[in-house]
Structure 1
């Protein structure tokens, strides 16, 4: 027995020495872990130097077999020349079921021990949808000036968990306004993120676009999933101002002038109403000046920032000293906002009349009166007798 034990020990030592001496079976190229987007192909490379044992792949410990076309796995195949030790694994159109650990294994040979090398395949799944809860894409969100607004953005069903970024007119909002929560998706191996935006809205936000943009390593190119809403912030208009005429400027009767009334902001936009001497300008007005004004009616235009009303008028004698008002009216105002100008118009008298006796005795004094109607500035009167000046014979005063 002692001789047999010694012989067995000698044999084992010999085998170990022989394996160590002939242990040439090794990897020329080991597989490397990869991340791949769902639907793409993935190739795990494996090359063996001085191969002696048979080669196969395993997935999560399950053997895929030795055949080049893997039975039961139509999207799996071994590529390369086996005689050269090339045993690459191709997976076509990967899905989340292919996520896991893969090993390239080479069995023992007469003088080689088995060897193996592992790599992980991580399948990335891009978000399936991005939505703002309770809001349709592009919806107008109506909110009052100074109020708080809360919006929830849900980026759904991605692997690994996605991220969400809030933007205002394309500029990212501060992280302190956002609270993110990762949620498990009802779909296997997927997650969603709920991003809550809490924003104090001001009048400056009126018309701005709030967007929620998904972030994920599986997103390719510029096709970034996103959704957005547009803010409609209710706020009163600014105080109106009138241009086109300066106080003290002199107009001449018959002169055309355009008064421009402008009010900034306002949602809804204000109604701009023109008044003359505190009376609305209307088509049914009987005042000659008002009738002339309405012949060239006021026109209103609206831009992204202001509302403007243009009133084209022809100055008349009735406009001298007349106050023109522009009133900005809105449901958000308790009373209208008013701007006004007072016109100065120069106009000539419409007529001149001379009165006095028709007959007098020679040598008697005579008094004649010359009267003009109103004018601005007051008209000057000159007398002529037989075509000659008669200044030394008259006194004059303003009518």
Structure 2
């Protein structure tokens, strides 16, 4: 393919442009300026220091600070306006600056430009100086209750809104209920900024369903900012939540009273607003601040303990046995509802463990559950042969198998076995003439004895004696085998786990076959005679 002049020029232009671009990029990236630190937050009047450095000597160090003139710094120059050179020198490639007293006008980017002899362009670095400015005091707004007042009922949904305006940097908002942090039911904070002055505002919402324990507590919005000096950083509202007297365990047992001594029955409960109380004693009612006809029993005025907690007290001048058998009923009521509390008193001492807290009870229950779990795991592992019981299980199986084999052999030794009749092929092939000749002889038929071992591993310990009897020319013959199980040299053989064990079953001849053989023996001599 021919290459035209245009193609050649295009290739040359492209190649030249590529090398020029590579040279520019390489030149711009050949020196890297390291800035330490890259960002600082400082209060007005504080001292700050920045340092720019490269790996080669520099010719000059130029610093640009917001609100100040551009300065050419080196170690030989004296500080000017609280601004001075910082570093180990130009030959060390360091260009830094120290500002003794930061002013609010210095807020922004600080730029350092370095002159290098081998560079056409001066490399530079930037760092951010944030001069803190305190925001305005937080503003807290809350929704009204069910009756469009600042009084709420249990179950009402409280919506609160907190905003902290015009701070640099942005403030942080934290919510508290008294001293308890609120971490749930919060929206993501929203941040707005004023670009011209670099001021930031932050706001956040809280949604909370009120419960009786919220009554009397203070809802707080706390603003955290470097420029706050512990003042004007908190907004709070006290919550007033109405609810009827709350129930307690029933009956309430009181111990430690003494016959003939003064007894005080004291009950603490929660309610809002303040409740009225009355006592019921053996069908007699006593209002607070009154006493019975005899003057022996007195009901005191309800005591306000603060934050919706109250104490009702009943005084008995001298405890009698009848008093310990009486059930006392305290009725507390306000405009939100009423609640009855049943009390029993006793002269017995308070049982041990009755004062266990919820945490102690939970700990005991958890400990019991852990013990049950451990026992279950151990039993499961032992039954299934897992974990630390796996080796023991295999050993037990092997040992039990060997033990069973020995026991079977010992039982067989005690048994008197009858003669075994085994069908085997004829040992000797005889013709008819020789059989007739042998029948005429008066001597008994010859017998051959053969030791037949039951098992290859026991050829030396349990031999079998076999007696061969002629079968009158028939194809098969009879062999009588006797198992020797009374030898003194017999001993159990324990095999390895890997060795296989073969079991043989010995089938005894039927009684009919034995009688037939016996009859054949009796008729044989008669035929000879």
Q: TM-score scaled to structure 2, two decimals?
A: 0.44
What SS does the corresponding residue of 2:213 show, helix, strand or coil? helix
What SS does the corresponding residue of 1:45 show, helix, strand or coil? strand
Deviation at 1:197, TM superposition (A): 1.0
Per the alignment, residue 100 of structure 1 pairs with 108
Deviation at 1:123, TM superposition (A): 0.6
Deviation at 1:272, TM superposition (A): 2.5
CA distance in 1, matches of 2:303, 2:325: 28
**Structure with a larger share of its residues in helix:** 2
Per the alignment, residue 122 of structure 1 pairs with 129
Q: Does 1:272 align with 2:277?
A: yes
Does the CA contact (< 8 Å) of 1:272 and 1:309 recur in 2? Answer: no
* 1:27/1:43 CA distance change after superposition, 3 Å: farther
Deviation at 1:207, TM superposition (A): 4.2
Count residues in correspondence: 296
What SS does the corresponding residue of 2:123 show, helix, strand or coil? strand
CA distance in 1, matches of 2:342, 2:35: 83
Deviation at 1:146, TM superposition (A): 1.1
Per the alignment, residue 56 of structure 1 pairs with 62
> Could you tell me which of 203, 208, 211 is aligned with 1:202?
211
CA distance in 2, matches of 1:104, 1:286: 92
Does the CA contact (< 8 Å) of 2:111 and 2:126 recur in 1? Answer: yes
* 1:259/1:191 CA distance change after superposition, 3 Å: same
Per the alignment, residue 242 of structure 2 pairs with 234
* 1:201/1:120 CA distance change after superposition, 3 Å: same
* 1:46/1:131 CA distance change after superposition, 3 Å: closer
Does the CA contact (< 8 Å) of 1:58 and 1:104 recur in 2? Answer: yes
* 1:341/1:149 CA distance change after superposition, 3 Å: closer
Does the CA contact (< 8 Å) of 1:155 and 1:162 recur in 2? Answer: yes
Larger RCO (CA within 8 A; separation ≥ 6): 1
> Could you tell me which of 157, 174, 177 is aligned with 1:165?
174
Does the CA contact (< 8 Å) of 1:33 and 1:119 recur in 2? Answer: no
The Cα offsets for residues 259-317 of structure 1, whole Å up to 9 and x where unpaired, read as 62535321224232235544436888793x2x2334xx636545565533232233689
CA distance in 2, matches of 1:103, 1:282: 79
Deviation at 1:121, TM superposition (A): 1.6
Q: TM-score scaled to structure 1, two decimals?
A: 0.56
What SS does the corresponding residue of 1:97 show, helix, strand or coil? helix
Deviation at 1:148, TM superposition (A): 1.6
CA distance in 1, matches of 2:342, 2:50: 81
Q: Does 1:77 align with 2:81?
A: no
What SS does the corresponding residue of 1:31 show, helix, strand or coil? strand
Per the alignment, residue 448 of structure 2 pairs with none
CA distance in 2, matches of 1:225, 1:286: 56
Deviation at 1:220, TM superposition (A): 10
CA distance in 2, matches of 1:50, 1:313: 99
Deviation at 1:93, TM superposition (A): 3.2
Q: Does 1:152 align with 2:161?
A: yes
Per the alignment, residue 37 of structure 1 pairs with 41
CA distance in 1, matches of 2:322, 2:111: 101
Give 5+ residue unaligned stretches, structure 1: 1-22, 136-140, 344-399
Q: How does 1:258-269 map to 2 (within 5 A)?
A: 258=263, 260=265, 262=267, 264-269=269-274
Deviation at 1:41, TM superposition (A): 2.3
CA distance in 2, matches of 1:213, 1:75: 36
* 1:132/1:233 CA distance change after superposition, 3 Å: farther
Q: How does 1:317-336 map to 2 (within 5 A)?
A: 325-333=329-337, 336=338
Per the alignment, residue 65 of structure 1 pairs with 71
CA distance in 2, matches of 1:320, 1:79: 88
* 1:197/1:59 CA distance change after superposition, 3 Å: same
Deviation at 1:164, TM superposition (A): 2.2
**Structure with a larger share of its residues in strand:** 1
Deviation at 1:341, TM superposition (A): 7.5
CA distance in 2, matches of 1:320, 1:80: 89
CA RMSD of superposed structures (Å): 4.8
Q: Does 1:298 align with 2:304?
A: no
Deviation at 1:183, TM superposition (A): 3.1
The Cα offsets for residues 43-74 of structure 1, whole Å up to 9 and x where unpaired, read as 2224574444x432234799613364576xx2
Per the alignment, residue 13 of structure 1 pairs with none
CA distance in 1, matches of 2:344, 2:198: 76
Does the CA contact (< 8 Å) of 2:57 and 2:90 recur in 1? Answer: no
